[in-house]
Amino acid sequence: MNPRTHFRLVVLYVLVGALLLVLLGRLWTLQVLEGDHYRAIAAQNRTRDIVVPAVRGMILDDRGRPLARNTSSLVVSVDRTTLGRQEDGGEAVLKRLAKVLGMSHDEINKRIRLCSPTVKRPCWPGSPYQPIPVQDHADPKRALQIMERQEEFPGVTAQVQPVRNYPKPEGASAVQTLGYLQPVTQEELDKRDGLKVTGYSSVDLVGRDGLEAQYDRVLRGEAGYRRVLVDAQGRVTGVAEKKDPVPGNHLVTSIDAEVQGAAEKALKEGIEAARRGGRPADSGAAVVMDVRTGRMIAMASYPTYDPSVWTGGISQKKYDELLGEKNNSPLISRVTQGMGPPGSTFKVSSMAAAVNAGYDLHGTYNCPGSYMVGSRAFNNFQSANLGSMSLHTALVKSCDTIFYRFAHEMWLKNGGKNAPPDAKNPMVETARGFGFGANTGIDLPNESAGRIPDAQWKRQYWEATREESCRGAKQGYPQVAKTDPARAAYLKAVANENCKEGYVWRAGDAANLSIGQGNVMVTPLQLVRAYAAIANGGKLHVPRIGVAVVGPDGRLVQEIDAPKPKRIPVDGKVLAYMRKALAEVPTEGTAGGAFSGFDLKRVGVAGKTGTAERWGQEDMSWFASFGPVKEPRYAVVAMVSQGGFGAQTSAPIVRKIWEAMYGTEDDEPILDDGKLPTGIPKLPGSGTAP
């Protein structure tokens, strides 16, 4: 044989042998190493997993009345994945579906398209791999056509499913406190434990805000599944395996629907009255807390909205209205996120700080019409000269100049402009001891911390805004000058001062802080918590809404306890002195007009008005209170942005809430002998108390 031919045959034998070895190796890998994997894939060709939804738990008030619950609804959904397998992408199916449901083809297409920053609503914000609801309250006759002609509607389902409902017992909506639900996104399914693609619109909703978000795991339950056998055409031939869903637990809260409804009504009426009086009154809050426990009884926020807008997909117009500033962002809870200077309601903190710094609690102090801080005069309201008075009267009459003096003298004692940034500041330390400038720890997401400014904060702020201030000092404010030359000149002077030494903690900063003005920012929740601490003898509670988690059968699963309260840095004798002074504000002080005719002997209410100035806006109105004076049980606070005087707008709101709780000659009280129910209520339909 030719040697060359022999060599070629040898090479060919080697190649064939190598290919056979590779083939044998691959077969061994598929059958031995990866056999289980491919057997599972083969099984999946004969089975389909259908996730069975769990019913979401209810959110209940303190008497067991549902604030959020589920109602049954016939939901028609579309599976994008199934439609995508068809030659025309499912267009023919969607056209037939639109005709049956009485909707336009364009509307259905909009509902099933995926949301993105460039896609306007309605659109689907959830996972693309789950059926998308196109109609949440379908007509049974129309849905029956879909179920009977399933071969014409592949990828379309029509099933009875639970839909979230907010019944508003006693007129209580509490929507910002309750929060809302939205479909789970694919990113969340990839990251969060316990969330599953369910194939049902209602179950794939998760809490996005409020209690729905805070207690989402408690309320959501655990989905079940059915593994069904299918033939080559995808028709179900039997059930191979199933697991029943576990319903979500119920959340019992401390919110009382009647008090909540009364607070919402009083707030709305107060804002409308302020507007009739010429005030812009763009937003507000009213809040009621149990001073002994820190439990929240009512949390009203304005403006508000109807939570049903989330059901069945929200339009772009409605979505923009909820998020936009044009409608004052109704999604925001003004109780926990509405910040502003508290005005004279803050003086309880400043008075405690002055006493802590050595000023005589029982001393006499002059209240002139103005007090000079450096070269600037800081005035009383309407420059009133009220003469000599005690600290008791200073709170009742709301004298500003006494507190200006305290702050100025403390500032000088600390070193004035040359004080080190970390120098102790009694006003700041006491305010933070009252809980201002920090989150309260309430069981709600997205709480605002507020702000108590000091030298360190001012330096940080100066560093962040220095470039802008220096630009304003150099260029001025030509746009403002076109309409208001005097204002433009003032802004330029301020910018020039801030550019050069805006980091300095000045005497004016300290003076503004002492009366809750300047850069001080608090929330209504922080203020009601502080006044509750004054009322209860110094305990600064961590606010709580959740009381207990209860199973679907009424069985107690968990009691929700709050952390141990801290104590405010105020002596008990000083607190007693404050309570006595604040009790005279509605009788002889700044709130006397608002509480004229109120039965203060039967229900003694103590409180403080606050009117806070804000540049470029109308005054912010506040009233903070607690009562009954002899044995305090509740604290009530109202705030109205751009509402004007505290005595004219917020105090009447608070009065209405007290009257609703304790009754009047004409109206029955909400409270039973001044009390709300305690413990865990019997659930509707549970049969037995937990």
Decide: 370 and 555 in contact? Cβ < 8 Å. Answer: no
pLDDT at 688: 37
Residue 52 near residue 244 (C-beta atoms within 8 A): yes
Mean pLDDT of the region 56-74:
91
Q: Where are the extended beta strands (E) located within 47-111?
A: 47-52, 59-60, 66-78
**Per-residue confidence (pLDDT) for residue 141, from 0 to 100:** 84
Architecture in CATH of 48-248: Alpha-Beta Complex (3.90)
**Residue 310 scores a pLDDT above 80:** no
**Tens digits of per-residue pLDDT, 130-171?**
788 888 778 888 888 887 788 889 888 887 777 888 999 999
Place of tokens 């404050």: 578
Of residues 539 and 185, more confidently modeled: 539
**Domain residue ranges in the chain:** 48-248, 455-504
Whole-angstrom distance, CA of residue 154 vs CA of residue 151? 6
Residue 86 has pLDDT above 60, yes or no: yes
Q: What is the pLDDT of residue 687?
A: 40
Greater model confidence, 532 or 603? 532
| DSSP classification of residue 585 | H
Note the pLDDT of residue 45: 54
Q: Does 51 have pLDDT greater than 90?
A: no
DSSP letters, 182-214, are EEPPHHHHHHSTT----S-TTTTEEE-SHHHHH
What pLDDT score was predicted for residue 201?
35
CA–CA gap between residue 14 and residue 301 (Å, rounded): 83
pLDDT of residue 198 exceeding 50, the answer is no
Q: Give the model's pLDDT for residue 313.
A: 61
Full DSSP string of 107-124: HHHHHHSBP-TTSPSS-B
303 conformational bin, left if phi > 0, alpha if psi -120 to 50, beta if neither: beta
* Of 444 and 553, the one with more pLDDT: 444
pLDDT tens per residue, range 320-377:
777 777 778 899 999 999 999 999 999 999 999 999 999 999 999 999 999 999 889 9
Question: What's the mean pLDDT in 33-43?
Answer: 62
Identify which of 3-12, 319-328, 543-552, 673-682 has the greatest average pLDDT.
543-552
- Residue 430 has what pLDDT? 98
Listed range (94-108, 313-327, 370-384) with the worst mean pLDDT:
313-327
Q: Per-residue pLDDT for 653 more than 90?
A: yes
Strands 66-78, 156-165: pairing is antiparallel
Least confident of 14-28, 331-345, 394-408: 14-28
- Please compute the mean of the pLDDT values over residues 99-110 and round it to a whole number: 89
Residue 557 host element (H or E): strand 556-559
At 581-590, the pLDDT tens digits run: 999 999 999 9
Give Cα separations from 379 to 71, 223, 303, 375, 416 (angstroms).
59, 65, 34, 13, 21
Q: Say which range, 211-215, 238-242, 525-529, has the weakest mean pLDDT.
A: 238-242
| pLDDT on residue 46 | 64
pLDDT recorded at residue 689: 38
Residues with Cβ within 8 Å of residue 601, at least 6 apart in sequence: none
Q: Which is higher by pLDDT, 143 or 572?
A: 572
For the chain, state the CA radius of gyration: 33
Q: Which of 233, 235, 184, 179 is nearest to 208 (CA)?
A: 179
Across 286-297, average pLDDT: 98
Band (pLDDT 50/70/90 cuts) for residue 420 is: confident
Query: How far does the chain reach from its first CA to its final CA, in angstroms?
Result: 98
β-pair partners for 366: 388
User: Which band of pLDDT confidence, cut at 50, 70 and 90, is reported for residue 204?
Assistant: low
Q: What's the confidence (pLDDT) of residue 199?
A: 39
Percent of the chain with pLDDT over 70: 89
Is residue 636 pLDDT above 70, yes or no?
yes
- Across the range 219-239, mean pLDDT stands at 69
- Token pair, residue 117, equals 């920053």
Q: Give the Cα separation of 388 and 404 in Å (integer).
A: 15
pLDDT, one tens digit per residue, over 604-627 is 999 999 999 998 899 999 999 999
The structure's pTM equals 0.85
User: Residue range 174-201: average pLDDT?
Assistant: 67
Output 274-278 pairs: Cβ under 8 A, ≥24 positions apart.
274/621, 274/640, 274/643, 274/644, 274/648, 274/649, 277/644, 277/648
